[in-house]
Amino acid sequence: MTSSNDLRIVGAVRETLRAELERDDRIIVYGEDVGRDGGVFRATEDLQDRFPEQVYDAPLAEAGIIGVGVGLAAAGLVPVPEIQFQGFIYQAFHQLQQHVSRIRSRSRGTVTCPMTIRTPYGGGINALEHHGESYEAGFAHIPGLKVVIPSSPVETAGLLRASIRDPDPVVFMEPTRLYRTFRESVPDEHVIPLGEGRIVEAGSDLTVVSWGSMLRETLDAVESVDADVEVIDPRTITPFDTELVASSVKKTGRCVVVHEAPRTGGFAAEIAARINEEALHYLEAPVGRVTAYDVPQPFFAREDAYRPDAARIARTIRETMQD
């Protein structure tokens, strides 16, 4: 990968995997259709031809895909499995909760599980039922798992490389709606440390925290409001950069959190709680939330009404500014 490469997110995934497979022959990429077909989104296209000993197709069996990774990791390999859509990862949830996340604790630190579980997530592509889930809060509730969500090609390359090199398991959630929407120049050997958020736009009136595909809607919303808004992309849900968000809220006094997962028990609630713990006396208004609704992800005819858009985000920003 060279600094002159303008890549979309799907290309950043493919090129980062290629570079990591070349760097470390312990890395094993596998999953449903990732080999001969190159993945349902073509994120692993041509990798099997270049690395036939490291890239494999797997049976249609999510529990087996994740369970095999536990054994590979324990044997000293670095598994990078793909779950074709996040809506089907629940077939392997027991492996994640009972085994993947606990190896380090169970073995008193003698065995780790350096596994990066890639999974497309989120709505906006007119897919069928179970193909547009957003469940980051559920994974964040499992101690031992890291949860990473990129929002651009550069972020994807840097965070995926850091995830693969991490000694512990990572759930790497790729926003399907952004796979092919825009390009960025991605530098070589780009690594973004896990747990460090970024200020996307600086501001002094209000803080907005948003990640994944919702960051695009948030930036559109910010342009339409009459306020100096600071936009933060946490990059990782676990670990979460509480210090960055609390510092911003201490400056602005107001905060809105945006995500496309359902409202109740969503990660916005956890962020609001942390702001209460770290910056309560600086708040000039309650923390606002813009989320999807507490209903199952609808079929695509109602998808746009379900997922937050720039108008809903802008309305909550204005309401929070008036409190």
Q: Within its chain, how far is the Cα of 226 from the centroid?
A: 30
Distance CA 187, CA 171 (A): 23
Q: Within its chain, how far is the Cα of 189 from the centroid?
A: 20
Other beta carbons less than 10 A from residue 18's beta carbon:
18
Residues 6+ apart with CB under 8 A from 289: 256, 257, 258, 263, 266, 268, 269, 272, 316
Amino acid letter, 194: L
**Strand pairing class (184-185; 255-262):** unpaired
- DSSP secondary structure string for all residues of 223-255: HHSSS-EEEEE-SEEES--HHHHHHHHHHHS-E
What is the token pair recorded at 105? Answer: 């604790």
DSSP annotation of 185 reads E
Vertex 44: Cα angle to 41 and 46 (nearest 5): 120
Q: Which residues pair with 27 in a beta bridge?
A: 78
Catalytic residue (one of 99, 130, 131, 259): 131
Residue 209's φ and ψ, nearest 5 degrees, are: -110, 125
What is the token pair recorded at 247? Answer: 């510092």
Per the annotation, the verdict on 281 as an active-site residue is no
Q: Give catalytic residues, as residue numbers.
A: 131
